[in-house]
Structures are given as C-alpha cells and as structure tokens.
Structure 1
Amino acid sequence: MATIVDRLIESPSIASRAMDSVPGLHLDVATVSGVEWDRLVGTFDEACQEQLYTFAISRWPSVKHEPLVFSHKGEIVGGSLMMIQPLPLGIGGIAVSKWGPMLKHGGRADAPMIYRGMIDALISEYADGRGLMLSVLPRASLTAVNAESQHLQVRGFKMGSTLLFPSRYIVNLRLSDAEQRKSLHQKWRYHLNKSEKVGLSFEHAGPERIGEFHALYTAMTDRKQFPDHSAYETVEPLMAMDASLRPELFFVRHEGEVIAGAIIFKIGDRAVYLYGATNDKALPLRAGYFMHWEIIRWLRDNTPAGWYDLGGTDGFQGLHQFKKGMVGEAGVIQPVPSVANYASRPLAYLAGTGAFAARDAMHQVRRFIDGLRSTKAKPDQIRATAEDN
C-alpha cells in the first residue's frame, strides 16, 4: 500500500506542500537492543531487510549499530537502525540511515510530520550533538517525485552519491489474476503461458530446505563465472529468525527435480526479491517466468504487502526487459534517490564526503574489473541472467 506521502505526490509543487507545509513533530527517542529492534521492525509498514539488526551485523560487522525508536505521546511511530562508521585518524565519522528512517504506519494522516520529526531528531543527535556527518538514503518512491528526498534537500541536506543504475522495478500485488495477466507486457505473458504448459510445479518451502537453495545458487554462480558482491552471507542468519521475520523460500520443480528457487523478504508494505537461482534446465523451460508469477500470487494471498520490489538490473539490458515486462502497466519503475548528507560542522562534511568519494572510486575500479571478467562469459550465460534474477 502506498504511504500517505506517496498518495499526496502528483507534482513537485504538491510534494513540497505535502512535506513542508507542516512542522515536524517533536518525538521522543530511545535506543533498544538488537533483538527488540528486529521484533519492532516486524510491525513497521516501511520495514526492509537492511534495517534489520540481524542483517546489518552480518553485512557490516565493523561498524557500530544503534537501533533508534521514535515515539509520540507514548506511541511508537517510527525508527531507524543507525550505522556509525568512524573515519581513519579520528578525523570524524559518518552516521548512516539506509532506507530509513522508517514510518511504522505509512498511511496515517500525520506521516509527513512524523518523518520530519525523525529527521530533526537525527540531525540533533548525530550532526549537532556528536559532530558527525549524517547520511540518509530514502527508498524509491512509488510516484514520480520522492517526497522524502525532496524534504531532505529543503532541510539543508546536500545530494551525494547516486547508484549507477538506480531504477527499481516494483510490481503491484493488489490485483486479481486476470488483472495481473492483463498488466504484464505481451512478450512476458507469452513466455508465462509457455511455462505453464511444460509440467512445472511451485513449492513454498520451510527454512530446513535452505541447503537446496545454496546448492542451486553455488552451481549458478560457478556456471556464470560472475563475481558475487551481494550480501549472500546474510542468508543463513536471516533464515534462522522467527517465522514472522525470516524471508520466504520458494522452489520450482520439473519431473521431480528442483530447477529454480527464490528467497523473498515479505515484511511490511513492500515485499522484496532478495536472491534467485536456477540450474541449466530452467532456462529452456522458462522457469523464471513461472516462479515469479506464482510468487506474486502467493504474496498477494498470504501477506499484507501492496508491492513487490524486484530490485535493480546492474546494467543488464536483458534483465531490464524481464523486470519491465513483469512490472507491466500496473506497476512502477522509479529510481532510488541520491544519498543525502548533512553536517553541522564544515570539517565533518569534508571528511565524510571525502570518505564517500574514496569508496565510490573503489567501486568503479571493481566494476571495471568485473566488466573485463564478464566479457569472458558465454552468450548463453549472459542471456540466462534475466530469468535467474
């Protein structure tokens, strides 16, 4: 379901009025344990896997993690898992909120006021109080204007790094089967129809079968010879969480053999595609089309999520066409905004932006090396990327 902010956004002028015509609420702030934080995040509309403590300590073990809960008149209204990265030589540090701060209830009328209040509190604590650079990355909006990103600019944040391929492909889950099929692009629907005639079956699996997915995933990465820079090391701790928090596992089987699988984050108003894997038999059977179609239906019928975020493409044109066709006419394709940076002290800003520049340069070098390696991949390996992901 779209948040109240998203529903108000139809043009830049409306976005500005929605976020800036009201003051931010004064919120109480408390730090909680990692275990308590994950339990609370499971009740948030804007929950995402990067904001889970269990994910963050596996993905970024060297930084300090501070789960902050925001309350108004005794009611929890939002939160943010802050990651504190000290810089070398003690010259400063960066406080990062990735995909945060999150609203607990995105549809409430005072959501813009709550968001503003959370940003004010983060500035007060990390920029003014501790002298750090505050870095905030909002999630992709469901509309043409990202109201949160726009508010950050009005509040004095400066735009920083932007993803090289920022588009996110988001499927509308609240459609009937007939409406969803009609939304699909014609070629995607054609491949789906073909996949439904070759004897594939769909399975929702428990965490005890994660070993089967590991086997598929390892074989796929070995087959493609593509470097894996994902957060795959977080899968085991995520799958060990309570049932209400852990991702869901799905498989596609053909003639008794598991040929495809996927791991899906399902908490909050947006389910998220985390990982997918196939073997050599999946591509000619169009197993990727069949699997995603069944996942869409399962998420619609078994979760409150209104949207299914397929992630990005990392520049692969085949993957763009595959995801664009699945998003169809009823879904949205919108970019992740630039990182927004704020510092109360000039030295903190210079140190923080310098650190980000060094990181971005390192990523560019890695991408160049990956590009050289990918030219050695066989054409069928590259073509398979669309369905595997």
Structure 2
Amino acid sequence: MSAIADRLAPAAAVLPARQTSATAGLRLEMRLVSGPEWDRTIAEFDEVCQEQLHVFASARWPAVEQEPVIFLAEGEVVGGSLMMVQRLPLGIAKIAVSKWGPMLKDAASAGAADIRAGMIEALIGEYAVRRGLMLSVLPRASLAPGNPEYASLITRGFQRGSELGFPSRYIVNLRLSDGEQRKSFGQKWRYHLNKSEQAGLTFERAGAERIGEFDALYTAMTDRKKFTDHSAYETVHELMALEVEALRPELFFVRHEGEVVAGALIFKAGDRAVYLYGATNDQALPLRAGYFIHWNVIRWLRDNTTAKWYDLGGTDGFHGLHQFKKGMVGEAGIITPVPPVANYASRPLPFLFGTAAFWGRDVIHRSRAKLKGLLQPKARPDQAPISSDTSAP
C-alpha cells in the first residue's frame, strides 16, 4: 500500500477540475484509500456497483493492482473510482482501467457533470500523463439517450475501444405501484406471471447464512445444463461476508410444496439494483418460477431500498432471454447499451500497447465463444447482433 501511496503522492494534492461558468473555482482532491475504507465509503454512493467494490475486484482479478481513489471537494467526498492497474504480457506496459467508473456520490446534484469531468481530468493527469499509462474508462449503461458520460469522454479525446457483442442492458423501473408495474409488463410476460401465481409458489427473503442452499441449487443447475461457468461466481462468498449491510447482496428463494425451486442474488445498493445470479431446478420452468421470483424481487426492492431501477443485465446473445427480459422491462423500463471502452494515452507507445492488448483479449474471447458453440450447440448465441451505438434511443 505504501508503494502505491508514494506513486500517487503528487496527485493527492489539490487538483483543478475542468472549469465551467457554472462551477468556477471547483477544485478536487484525489486521495488513495485502503480497500476496506473504500468499500465503506462508496456504500453511500448513488452510482455504487458490484464491479467497483474492492472485495469483489480483488477476488475476481487477484493479479491486478487495485488502487481505490476518492475525490473530495472542500473536504467532502463527492466521487471516486477503483482503478485497476493491469500489467501487460512481458511487462512491456501497463493499463489503468476504471470499470463502471468514476462514480458520483450524488448523481442528481447540480454540479454532477462537472464533478465527473473533474474526476476524469484528475485520472488523466495521474495515470496517462504522470505515469504514462493508457487510461481505459468503461461508463455504465446510461439511462439518458446517447450516454452523455461516454460522449464527454470522446469529446475529451478518448478513443473508441473494445465493445461487447451483445451490449444491451435491460433495466426495470422500480418506482411504480403494483398496478402500474403489471400494466407495464409485456402481455405474454404478464400472462406467465398470472399463471405462476396460481401454481402455489411462495417467496422468501433469506439471510447470508443460507448461501449454501443457493450454492447447491446453482451447482446443480450448471451441471444439468452442461455449460462452463465464466461468471464471477467465485466472489459470492466474499460479497456475502461483507460487514457493510448495504453492500451485501440479498438472497431470495421461491418454494413449491416446501421445496426450493428457484433462487436469486441481488445487489441492492445505490440508485440501481442489479440481478447478479439466479438458479433453478427442473420444476422451475413449468411452474414459471422465474416470473414469480422477479415480480416479488421488484416489489421488495421498491419497498425496502432507495433504488430507482433494477438492472437485469444482458443476454449473452440468447433470444429467449432477450424476450423474457424485454417483457419484464415493459413500457416503463429502459433497454440501453453498455458503451464501448474509451481509451486515452498522452504518448503513442502506451496507446499502441494497450490497444493491442485489448485486441488480443477480444480475439481470445471470440475464439472461445465459437469453440464453445461448436462443442455445446445449446450454448451458441441465437440473438441477432445489437449495436452498442450510444446515439441510438
């Protein structure tokens, strides 16, 4: 920690943010903090997300240097970013990555855009200019048309980089009454929900001590479907052991005649709850347990959290999953793409090495996906390609 702190020492001084007429004199202080302090601090952020948790990132990418930096204005925390510094093969260079960051503490504040711009300027100054790395920023999917956060990065000089093959995120509006929510659902989704409610299912919230039950259900499901799990499921136990209750995922189960048939793990902090993992047994499909559990999770999040939205994640290219999530998003929700990575370097070689590393990673991922599709035809994507064009409505 001390070595990282020494490297960041010049950036810990007061750093000027981009000046605008609305925020003349805005100055940000960039400060490195420990992993535990970082997780405690961002628990109150509007834009907090699982990928920005130190406990998650250190378990998911143990070989990557984690540098949690917070930003303060007049002594008050206003934002931050968990910076992941990745050494490239042969040690030829490093890249600094901010995934779903930098995050704002108060996304609705009048100066939010200027604070975000100031954080980007500070990150450029520290990682791209002073340390000579390629800086890669991946903003989260925006609820606003055109993804203003991504657009501002391109305007600032960042270059479009890697993008997901199926970038759409399916996001449910949580701030509706039961009647408004059901009316929003797609007609077929609402039909299946009605059927599930006639099947004798029950919904329950479970404590972290019951994560073993979910493990068993999840393992049995992956074995049954015979697919290789490339998710971050190995981080679940670290997340469930978090001392900060707001950051600990919620665990839910659905039962039929006393037997658990479905379960879900939900990240609930911030303004956007996220569906992390689901698991079902053989009975779940005919009972339509997936519809039942999501309906009750939506109602629980509305009534027990401050989250405004429920992010269902993507589809990995499966049309059936697209139809299911699209019906749940309905008329009141949003389907919006995750933008491409935005890359910036102040020198040619870091940009060249960093871009080549992303290209090589993308080639490997595409090759693995094609091989998986050949070996496991049921795992082959069947959804039409969707653009990550952030200018699309």
Query: Is TM > 0.5 for Structure 1 vs Structure 2?
Result: yes
Given that 1:97 and 1:136 are in contact with CA atoms closer than 8 Å, whether structure 2 keeps it comes out as yes
Post-superposition CA distance 1:33-79 (Å, at most 9, x none): 00000001100000000000000000000010000000011110000
Note the C-alpha offset of 1:22.
5.9
Note the C-alpha offset of 1:143.
2.3
Query: Given the superposition, is the C-alpha separation of residues 63 and 377 from structure 1 closer, same or farther in structure 2, using an over 3 Å criterion?
Result: closer
Aligned counterparts, 1:78-157, within 5 A: 78-157=79-158
Match of 1:327 in 2: 329
Letter in 1 for 2:206: A
Given that 1:252 and 1:258 are in contact with CA atoms closer than 8 Å, whether structure 2 keeps it comes out as yes
Query: 4+ residue runs of structure 1 moved beyond 4 angstroms?
Result: 19-24
Given that 2:23 and 2:111 are in contact with CA atoms closer than 8 Å, whether structure 1 keeps it comes out as no
Note the C-alpha offset of 1:20.
8.2
Query: Given the superposition, is the C-alpha separation of residues 275 and 169 from structure 1 closer, same or farther in structure 2, using an over 3 Å criterion?
Result: same
Match of 2:205 in 1: 204
Match of 1:292 in 2: 294
Note the C-alpha offset of 1:245.
1.6
How far, CA to CA, are the matches of 2:351 and 2:345 in structure 1? Answer: 5
Given that 2:372 and 2:379 are in contact with CA atoms closer than 8 Å, whether structure 1 keeps it comes out as no
Match of 1:166 in 2: 167
Where do 5+ consecutive residues of structure 1 fail to align?
A: 1-18, 383-389
Q: CA RMSD in A?
A: 1.6
* Mean CA deviation greater in 83-92 or 100-109: 83-92
SS at 1:272's partner residue? strand
Match of 1:346 in 2: 348
Match of 2:374 in 1: 372
State percent identity of aligned pairs: 70
Letter in 2 for 1:179: E
Note the C-alpha offset of 1:23.
6.7
Match of 1:3 in 2: none
Match of 2:338 in 1: 336
1:218 pairs with 2:251: no
Match of 2:246 in 1: 244
How far, CA to CA, are the matches of 2:73 and 2:379 in structure 1? Answer: 55
Q: Alignment partner for residue 361 of structure 1, among 360, 363, 386?
A: 363
Note the C-alpha offset of 1:26.
2.8
1:272 pairs with 2:274: yes
Match of 1:182 in 2: 183
Aligned counterparts, 1:296-315, within 5 A: 296-315=298-317
TM-score (norm 1): 0.91
Query: Given the superposition, is the C-alpha separation of residues 137 and 334 from structure 1 closer, same or farther in structure 2, using an over 3 Å criterion?
Result: same
Given that 2:249 and 2:266 are in contact with CA atoms closer than 8 Å, whether structure 1 keeps it comes out as yes
1:234 pairs with 2:232: no
SS at 1:284's partner residue? helix
How far, CA to CA, are the matches of 1:176 and 1:198 in structure 2? Answer: 23
SS at 1:113's partner residue? helix
Given that 1:251 and 1:291 are in contact with CA atoms closer than 8 Å, whether structure 2 keeps it comes out as yes
Note the C-alpha offset of 1:88.
2.6
Post-superposition CA distance 1:121-153 (Å, at most 9, x none): 000000001000000000001122100000000
Query: Given the superposition, is the C-alpha separation of residues 217 and 113 from structure 1 closer, same or farther in structure 2, using an over 3 Å criterion?
Result: same
How far, CA to CA, are the matches of 1:339 and 1:327 in structure 2? Answer: 25
SS at 2:286's partner residue? coil
Match of 2:39 in 1: 38
Q: Alignment partner for residue 258 of structure 1, among 257, 260, 265?
A: 260
How far, CA to CA, are the matches of 1:349 and 1:376 in structure 2? Answer: 38
Match of 1:59 in 2: 60
Given that 1:46 and 1:103 are in contact with CA atoms closer than 8 Å, whether structure 2 keeps it comes out as yes
Given that 1:159 and 1:339 are in contact with CA atoms closer than 8 Å, whether structure 2 keeps it comes out as yes
Note the C-alpha offset of 1:21.
7.7
How far, CA to CA, are the matches of 1:76 and 1:251 in structure 2? Answer: 37
How far, CA to CA, are the matches of 1:209 and 1:324 in structure 2? Answer: 31
Note the C-alpha offset of 1:265.
0.2
Match of 2:48 in 1: 47
Number of equivalenced pairs: 361
How far, CA to CA, are the matches of 1:341 and 1:56 in structure 2? Answer: 20
Note the C-alpha offset of 1:99.
0.1
Letter in 1 for 2:304: N
SS at 2:310's partner residue? strand
Match of 2:387 in 1: none
Query: Given the superposition, is the C-alpha separation of residues 176 and 241 from structure 1 closer, same or farther in structure 2, using an over 3 Å criterion?
Result: same
SS at 1:244's partner residue? helix
Note the C-alpha offset of 1:344.
0.3
TM-score (norm 2): 0.90
SS at 2:294's partner residue? helix
Given that 1:224 and 1:377 are in contact with CA atoms closer than 8 Å, whether structure 2 keeps it comes out as no
Given that 1:157 and 1:342 are in contact with CA atoms closer than 8 Å, whether structure 2 keeps it comes out as yes
Note the C-alpha offset of 1:188.
0.1
Note the C-alpha offset of 1:376.
5.7
Where do 5+ consecutive residues of structure 2 fail to align?
A: 1-18, 383-393
Given that 1:225 and 1:377 are in contact with CA atoms closer than 8 Å, whether structure 2 keeps it comes out as no
Note the C-alpha offset of 1:244.
2.3
Given that 1:20 and 1:151 are in contact with CA atoms closer than 8 Å, whether structure 2 keeps it comes out as no
Letter in 1 for 2:142: S
